[in-house]
Amino acid sequence: MKKTKKILIIGIVASGKTTLAKNLSITLGIPWYELDCIVHHQTEKERFKRTPEEQVMIINNIDCTGSWIFEGTDRESYRCLFDMADTIIFLDTPLWKRKLRIIIRFIKQKLGIEKSHYKPDINMLKMMYKWTRDFERNRVSFEERLQLYNYKLIRLTDNRNLKSFHSM
């Protein structure tokens, strides 16, 4: 019988969470979910933010299906995933690399080379840098929360090293 795997990938903007989640999903044969898409629901006409209760309900419904990979930033509304996950991966990419990736992503989105679930405008670009600053300012409290899960925590500084996951 195949063991159910539940993996939470957490990190700040442009840390490489989506790339890692896609690669792990393929490698392990597990579906992955972007938490931004659970928080912000897109219809044909609009994009709106779900309530924290709606987010948890969707997460619980996905959890009932078996194995999963969730990836996103740290948000209070879905911290239940820290307890639900078998493995937590904190993608702690260097700050300089994240800042560079933010501007590269913005340019690619403006040129239509890369898709986004949001409108890639100057305000969103500013917000991504703001969220990055806020994360760094609040890093100590985030790290304290993570300590509760050290027994299932993997810390990576790069999203390209999948060797440690082949044994999962």
3-state secondary structure of 6: strand
Domains and CATH numbers, the chain: 6-93+139-159 (3.40.50.300)
pLDDT (tens digit per residue) in 65-110: 999 999 999 988 889 999 999 999 999 999 999 999 999 999 999 8
Cα separation of the two ends of the chain: 14
Task: Compute and round to an integer the Cα radius of gyration of the chain.
Answer: 16
Q: Is the pLDDT reported for residue 4 higher than 80?
A: no
Q: What is the mean pLDDT of the chain?
A: 89
Which residues, including other chains, have CB under 8 Å from residue 145's CB and lie 6 or more apart?
A: 74, 79, 82
